[in-house]
Protein backbone atom coordinates (compact mmCIF):
# COMPACT_ATOMS: atom_id res chain seq x y z
CA UNK A 1 0.00 0.00 0.00
CA UNK A 2 1.28 3.44 -0.91
CA UNK A 3 1.39 6.16 1.77
CA UNK A 4 -1.24 8.33 0.08
CA UNK A 5 -3.59 5.34 -0.13
CA UNK A 6 -3.09 4.62 3.57
CA UNK A 7 -3.72 8.24 4.57
CA UNK A 8 -6.88 8.41 2.46
CA UNK A 9 -8.13 5.16 3.98
CA UNK A 10 -7.43 6.37 7.53
CA UNK A 11 -9.30 9.61 6.85
CA UNK A 12 -12.30 7.72 5.52
CA UNK A 13 -12.34 4.84 8.01
CA UNK A 14 -11.36 6.56 11.25
CA UNK A 15 -12.60 10.11 10.61
CA UNK A 16 -9.09 11.50 10.95
CA UNK A 17 -7.56 14.52 9.29
CA UNK A 18 -3.86 14.93 8.58
CA UNK A 19 -1.61 17.94 8.25
CA UNK A 20 1.22 17.81 5.72
CA UNK A 21 3.68 17.69 8.61
CA UNK A 22 1.97 14.62 10.05
CA UNK A 23 2.03 12.85 6.68
CA UNK A 24 5.74 13.60 6.27
CA UNK A 25 6.55 12.38 9.77
CA UNK A 26 4.62 9.16 9.30
CA UNK A 27 6.52 8.47 6.06
CA UNK A 28 9.84 9.26 7.75
CA UNK A 29 8.89 6.92 10.59
CA UNK A 30 8.11 4.09 8.15
CA UNK A 31 11.47 4.71 6.45
CA UNK A 32 13.23 4.42 9.82
CA UNK A 33 11.37 1.19 10.57
CA UNK A 34 12.50 -0.25 7.23
CA UNK A 35 16.11 0.85 7.63
CA UNK A 36 16.48 -0.44 11.18
CA UNK A 37 14.62 -3.69 10.54
CA UNK A 38 17.55 -4.88 8.43
CA UNK A 39 19.57 -5.25 11.66
CA UNK A 40 17.08 -5.14 14.55
CA UNK A 41 13.92 -7.23 14.86
CA UNK A 42 11.44 -4.37 15.17
CA UNK A 43 8.72 -6.03 13.12
CA UNK A 44 8.47 -9.51 11.64
CA UNK A 45 10.12 -10.19 8.29
CA UNK A 46 6.73 -11.00 6.74
CA UNK A 47 5.39 -7.57 7.73
CA UNK A 48 8.17 -5.43 6.25
CA UNK A 49 6.34 -4.92 2.96
CA UNK A 50 3.06 -4.24 4.75
CA UNK A 51 4.01 -1.69 7.42
CA UNK A 52 1.28 0.78 6.48
CA UNK A 53 -1.46 -1.84 6.40
CA UNK A 54 -0.53 -3.99 9.39
CA UNK A 55 1.02 -1.44 11.73
CA UNK A 56 0.52 2.25 10.92
CA UNK A 57 -3.16 2.02 10.03
CA UNK A 58 -3.78 -0.31 12.93
CA UNK A 59 -2.31 2.23 15.35
CA UNK A 60 -4.12 5.11 13.67
CA UNK A 61 -7.40 3.32 14.42
CA UNK A 62 -6.72 3.92 18.12
CA UNK A 63 -6.29 7.70 17.86
CA UNK A 64 -10.03 8.64 17.85
CA UNK A 65 -10.51 6.63 21.06
CA UNK A 66 -7.88 8.49 23.09
CA UNK A 67 -8.90 10.77 25.96
CA UNK A 68 -8.27 14.46 25.51
CA UNK A 69 -5.74 14.75 28.33
CA UNK A 70 -2.34 13.17 29.01
CA UNK A 71 0.41 12.39 29.77
CA UNK A 72 0.63 9.00 28.07
CA UNK A 73 2.78 5.95 28.83
CA UNK A 74 3.24 3.38 26.04
CA UNK A 75 4.13 0.13 27.79
CA UNK A 76 6.37 -2.32 25.94
CA UNK A 77 6.64 0.21 23.14
CA UNK A 78 8.91 -1.94 20.96
CA UNK A 79 9.13 -0.17 17.61
CA UNK A 80 6.98 2.70 18.88
CA UNK A 81 3.66 1.11 17.95
CA UNK A 82 1.37 2.74 18.91
CA UNK A 83 3.33 5.37 20.91
CA UNK A 84 5.18 7.09 18.05
CA UNK A 85 2.09 7.09 15.82
CA UNK A 86 0.03 8.60 18.64
CA UNK A 87 2.63 11.32 19.23
CA UNK A 88 2.69 12.24 15.54
CA UNK A 89 -1.09 12.60 15.56
CA UNK A 90 -1.44 14.11 19.04
CA UNK A 91 1.46 16.52 19.49
CA UNK A 92 -0.32 17.97 22.54
CA UNK A 93 0.38 14.84 24.58
CA UNK A 94 3.51 14.24 26.62
CA UNK A 95 4.48 10.69 25.60
CA UNK A 96 6.75 8.24 27.41
CA UNK A 97 7.87 5.10 25.56
CA UNK A 98 8.80 2.27 27.93
CA UNK A 99 10.92 -0.49 26.39
CA UNK A 100 13.35 -2.90 28.04
CA UNK A 101 15.27 -4.16 24.98
CA UNK A 102 18.43 -2.12 24.40
CA UNK A 103 18.36 -1.89 20.60
CA UNK A 104 14.65 -1.14 20.47
CA UNK A 105 15.13 1.61 23.05
CA UNK A 106 17.96 3.01 20.91
CA UNK A 107 15.66 2.96 17.89
CA UNK A 108 13.01 4.85 19.82
CA UNK A 109 15.49 7.50 20.91
CA UNK A 110 16.82 7.94 17.37
CA UNK A 111 13.27 8.19 16.04
CA UNK A 112 12.38 10.87 18.59
CA UNK A 113 15.42 12.87 17.51
CA UNK A 114 15.06 12.29 13.76
CA UNK A 115 11.37 13.27 13.73
CA UNK A 116 11.86 16.22 16.09
CA UNK A 117 9.23 14.97 18.51
CA UNK A 118 8.94 17.35 21.45
CA UNK A 119 7.96 16.24 24.97
CA UNK A 120 8.65 12.60 24.10
CA UNK A 121 10.94 10.32 26.09
CA UNK A 122 12.23 6.77 25.62
CA UNK A 123 12.84 4.89 28.88
CA UNK A 124 14.83 1.66 28.83
CA UNK A 125 13.45 -0.44 31.66
CA UNK A 126 10.90 -3.06 32.61
CA UNK A 127 7.68 -1.78 34.13
CA UNK A 128 8.07 -3.82 37.31
CA UNK A 129 11.47 -2.20 37.95
CA UNK A 130 9.94 1.28 37.94
CA UNK A 131 7.14 0.68 40.42
CA UNK A 132 7.57 3.24 43.17
CA UNK A 133 9.53 5.66 40.96
CA UNK A 134 8.60 9.10 42.25
CA UNK A 135 8.60 10.65 38.75
CA UNK A 136 6.32 8.04 37.17
CA UNK A 137 4.09 6.54 39.85
CA UNK A 138 0.48 7.69 39.71
CA UNK A 139 1.24 10.15 36.92
CA UNK A 140 -0.39 8.95 33.71
CA UNK A 141 -3.90 9.62 32.51
CA UNK A 142 -3.39 7.25 29.57
CA UNK A 143 -1.44 4.02 29.30
CA UNK A 144 -1.38 2.12 26.01
CA UNK A 145 -0.20 -1.39 25.17
CA UNK A 146 -0.19 -3.36 21.92
CA UNK A 147 0.60 -7.08 21.97
CA UNK A 148 2.31 -6.92 25.36
CA UNK A 149 0.66 -9.37 27.79
CA UNK A 150 -2.65 -10.84 28.90
CA UNK A 151 -4.93 -8.36 30.63
CA UNK A 152 -4.51 -9.52 34.27
CA UNK A 153 -0.71 -9.24 34.05
CA UNK A 154 -0.90 -6.04 32.04
CA UNK A 155 -3.13 -4.40 34.63
CA UNK A 156 -0.74 -5.38 37.43
CA UNK A 157 2.11 -3.70 35.59
CA UNK A 158 0.22 -0.56 34.60
CA UNK A 159 -1.96 0.19 37.62
CA UNK A 160 0.85 1.75 39.74
CA UNK A 161 1.54 4.29 36.98
CA UNK A 162 -2.07 5.42 36.47
CA UNK A 163 -3.37 8.66 37.92
CA UNK A 164 -6.62 8.30 39.95
CA UNK A 165 -8.75 8.80 36.81
CA UNK A 166 -6.24 7.24 34.43
CA UNK A 167 -7.15 4.56 31.88
CA UNK A 168 -5.30 1.64 30.32
CA UNK A 169 -6.12 1.12 26.65
CA UNK A 170 -4.98 -2.27 25.42
CA UNK A 171 -5.05 -3.18 21.73
CA UNK A 172 -6.31 -6.76 21.50
CA UNK A 173 -8.18 -9.27 19.40
CA UNK A 174 -11.94 -9.85 19.83
CA UNK A 175 -13.42 -10.97 23.14
CA UNK A 176 -10.29 -9.88 24.99
CA UNK A 177 -12.04 -9.52 28.35
CA UNK A 178 -12.22 -13.31 28.48
CA UNK A 179 -8.53 -13.14 29.44
CA UNK A 180 -9.87 -12.48 32.93
CA UNK A 181 -10.69 -16.18 33.35
CA UNK A 182 -12.66 -15.63 36.56
CA UNK A 183 -14.32 -12.42 35.38
CA UNK A 184 -13.15 -8.82 35.65
CA UNK A 185 -12.05 -8.15 39.25
CA UNK A 186 -14.45 -6.05 41.31
CA UNK A 187 -11.99 -3.14 41.62
CA UNK A 188 -11.67 -2.68 37.85
CA UNK A 189 -14.14 -1.00 35.50
CA UNK A 190 -13.77 -2.55 32.04
CA UNK A 191 -15.23 -1.89 28.59
CA UNK A 192 -14.36 -3.31 25.19
CA UNK A 193 -14.87 -1.71 21.76
CA UNK A 194 -14.41 -3.79 18.62
CA UNK A 195 -14.08 -2.63 15.03
CA UNK A 196 -13.16 -4.20 11.71
CA UNK A 197 -9.96 -2.93 10.17
CA UNK A 198 -11.09 -2.37 6.57
CA UNK A 199 -7.70 -2.86 4.95
CA UNK A 200 -7.17 -6.33 6.49
CA UNK A 201 -10.76 -7.40 7.23
CA UNK A 202 -9.50 -8.22 10.70
CA UNK A 203 -11.11 -7.50 14.05
CA UNK A 204 -9.43 -5.10 16.46
CA UNK A 205 -10.61 -4.58 20.03
CA UNK A 206 -9.72 -1.76 22.38
CA UNK A 207 -10.05 -2.72 26.03
CA UNK A 208 -10.41 0.17 28.46
CA UNK A 209 -9.54 -0.56 32.09
CA UNK A 210 -9.61 1.83 35.02
CA UNK A 211 -10.12 1.75 38.76
CA UNK A 212 -13.66 1.77 40.07
User: Within the chain, how many helices (H) and strands (E) appear?
Assistant: 8, 7
Question: What CATH number was assigned to the domain covering residues 64-211?
Answer: 3.40.50.150
At 123-163, the pLDDT tens digits run 999 999 999 999 999 999 999 999 899 999 999 999 999 99
Residue ranges per domain, the chain? 64-211
At 163-196, the pLDDT tens digits run 999 999 999 999 999 999 999 999 999 999 999 8
**184: which residues sit within 8 A by CB, 6+ positions away?**
177, 190
- Here the contacts of 46-53 (C-beta below 8 Å, separation 24 or greater) are 50/1, 52/1, 52/2, 52/3, 52/5, 52/6, 53/1, 53/6, 53/199, 53/200
Amino acid sequence: MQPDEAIELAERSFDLSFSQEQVVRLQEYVDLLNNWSARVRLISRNDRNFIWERHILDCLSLVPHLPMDGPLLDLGSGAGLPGIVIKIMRSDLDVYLLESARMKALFLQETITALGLQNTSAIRSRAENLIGDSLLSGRFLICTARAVARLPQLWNWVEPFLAPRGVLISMKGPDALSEFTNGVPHGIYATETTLTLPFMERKRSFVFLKRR
